[in-house]
Amino acid sequence: MGTPLHPGAWWLWALALGTAATRTTNPLLLALLIAVSAYVVVSRRPHAPWSRSYGAFVKLALAVLVIRLLFTTVLGSPIPGTHTLLTLPEVPLPDWAQGIRLGGRVTAEGLAFALYDAMKLATLLICVGAANALANPSRLLKSLPGALYETGVAVVVALTFAPNLIADVQRLRAARRLRGRPDRGVRGLLQVGLPVLEGALERSVALAAAMDARGYGRTAQVPAPVRRTTAALTLGGLLGVCAGTYGLLTAAGGTYGIPVLLAGVAAALAGLWLGGRRTVRTRYRPDRWDARAWLVTASGATVAALLFLAAARDPAALHPGVVPLVAPSLPLWPAAAVLVGLLPAFITPAPETTTVQTFVKEPS
């Protein structure tokens, strides 16, 4: 078996596919992006409890589609249409609710527009679900820059606190039922809550002692100008990333979106690199960013770049119209570009198969 892929490469690949999904409303291309991510997840998802989150994201994406279509049916759509599917009873609204209606005509054009728009968000959610199913969260937190080390530890503590709290509640309720005492209602909640809080406090004290014994929170001496430069670069970079992302998602900001986004990412990375100098820590067996990680990241970036180019050169193919209502067509070379995202399924190591051993008890 080969060395597992760096978890950051999976996230960059999935986010690149999600970025490509934001450049089109063609349902065929969006369905192809979903199929590409699903194939990679099925073929390269490890056998671990955290890798089962992909199904939850698929269900969330389906819920987004249903809710969007339901809102369009009940509240109407701004898209004019001539193909009336059904007419709901319309509820009269006061004058201050101008522009809003309840009920009325439901047109095929309005539903098609809502479906195309909701599929874009659903595809983005499924791509994020693919990253969650493929990337090991503990290894990803271990690979964070030094400046985000304390944030990563806080995330790990928060993620482990809730399951332990639920386990304590279930254990105490089971113990009260065995003793014939009530475990429901206000009385049961009050009598269970105090031991649960006591156990959480004991775990917090033990965790704090363990972290203090391992030197958590100790920082190196960094000059004041370096700290100010770090704060300015990190804050300015994050603002640039937000402004650049907003520009990419809007039609008017297409000219400045990419330069501002790249400048923001560069400033944020520089700030994180400088901020890591104040954190004194070591990594045990760090994950290496090898050639396969570069290829996986490049495959996702290629899909995003080619979809950006296709949206600029042939916007009609990537954004099919609904007035008049026509069937969407599959553009050939953008579809071929999406298939580049299948590369991780062939260059990354297959997940380890779990073997079940059967033990036969010998007679005594």
Pick from 346, 292, 304, 305: nearest CA to 40: 346
Band of pLDDT at residue 123, cut at 50, 70 and 90: very high
pLDDT tens figures, 198-225: 777 777 777 767 766 766 656 666 677 7
CA-to-CA dists, residue 220 to 147, 211, 228, angstroms: 12, 17, 15
CA 58 vs. chain centroid, Å, equals 12
Mapped to the 3 state alphabet, what secondary structure does the chain carry?
CCCCCCHHHHHHHHHHHHHHHCCCCCHHHHHHHHHHHHHHHHHHCCCCHHHHHHHHHHHHHHHHHHHHHHHHHHHCCCCCCCCEEEEEEEECCCHHHCCCCEEEEEEHHHHHHHHHHHHHHHHHHHHHHHHHHHCCHHHHHHCCCHHHHHHHHHHHHHHHHHHHHHHHHHHHHHHHHHCCCCCCHHHHHHHHHHHHHHHHHHHHHHHHHHHHHCCCCCECCCCHHHHHHHHHHHHHHHHHHHHHHHHHHCCCCCCCHHHHHHHHHHHHHHHHHHHHHHECCCCCCCCCCCHHHHHHHHHHHHHHHHHHHHHHHCHHHHCCCCCCCCCCCCCHHHHHHHHHHHCHHHHCCCCCCCCCCCCCCCCC
Q: What is the pLDDT of residue 364?
A: 41
pLDDT of residue 353: 63
- pLDDT at site 27: 92
Give the number of other Cβ atoms within 10 Å of residue 333's Cβ. Answer: 13
Q: Residue 136 and residue 238: Cα distance in Å, rounded?
A: 25
Per-residue pLDDT at 267: 87
**Radius of gyration from C-alpha coordinates of the chain:** 26
Whole-angstrom Cα distance, residue 261 to residue 250? 14
Q: What is the mean pLDDT of residues 57-84?
A: 87
Q: Return the pLDDT at 360.
A: 41
Report percent pLDDT > 70 for the chain: 78
pLDDT top residue among 173 and 43? 43
Q: What's the pLDDT band for 245 if we cut at 50, 70, 90?
A: confident
CA distances from 314 to 267, 273, 302, 306, 310 (A): 33, 40, 18, 12, 6
Residue 302 — very low, low, confident or very high, per pLDDT cuts 50/70/90?
A: very high
Share of the chain above pLDDT 90, in %: 24
- Indicate whether this model's pTM tops 0.75: no
Mean pLDDT score of the chain: 80
Strand-pair category, 102-107 with 84-91:
antiparallel
pLDDT at 358 over 60: no
> CA 356 to CA 350: how far, in whole Å?
18
Looking at residue 130, what is its pLDDT?
A: 92
pLDDT at 190 exceeding the cut of 80: no
Q: What is the pLDDT of residues 71-92, one digit of tens each?
A: 888 887 778 878 888 888 877 7
Residue 356: its pLDDT value, please?
A: 41
pLDDT at 10: 92
pLDDT of 118: 92
| Position 329 pLDDT exceeds 80 | yes
Q: Please name every residue paired with 91 in a beta bridge, in sequence order, or none if there are none.
A: 102
Please give the Cα distance from 243 to 180 (Å, whole number). 60
pLDDT on residue 323: 81
**Does pLDDT of 170 surpass 70?**
yes
60 is written with which tokens?
A: 């969330």
**Residues 172-187, mean pLDDT to the nearest whole number:** 75
pLDDT single digits (tens) 254-295: 677 778 888 888 888 887 777 766 665 666 667 788 899 999
How much is the pLDDT for 344?
93
Compute the average pLDDT of residues 161-170: 69
